[in-house]
Amino acid sequence: MSIEESIMRILVDDLFICVPQAQIGLDDGLRDVLGLDSLGFVELRAQCEYTFGVTVPEEEFVPDNFSSVRTLARLVTRLRESLLDEVGGQ
């Protein structure tokens, strides 16, 4: 399962958005289109950290990184890569 698919599953199964997973577009606005509120974003952050084994630092917890499934997947990918770089560099 791709990062994008995992994020969509989190949105539907854990955050209970009212849009079926098959109808979520990668660039649909998490707030505007899918109706995520501020508490939903906090929960999405926590679920992504748990699911993908990353920590989303405060400076990365910004609207640009959480605007759509695509932008969030890019953030997760970047965080996972920097985690691998840290482990590989030790």
- HEC letters along the chain: CCHHHHHHHHHHHHCCCCCCHHHCCCCCCCCCCCCCCHHHHHHHHHHHHHHHCCCCCHHHCCCCCCCCHHHHHHHHHHHHHHHHHHHHHC
pLDDT tens, residue by residue, 3-19: 999 999 999 999 999 99
Record the pTM. 0.92
What are 34-86's pLDDT values in tens digits? Answer: 999 999 999 999 999 999 999 999 999 999 999 999 999 999 999 999 988 77
Domains and CATH numbers, the chain: 3-89 (1.10.1200.10)
The residue-averaged pLDDT of 13-35 equals 96
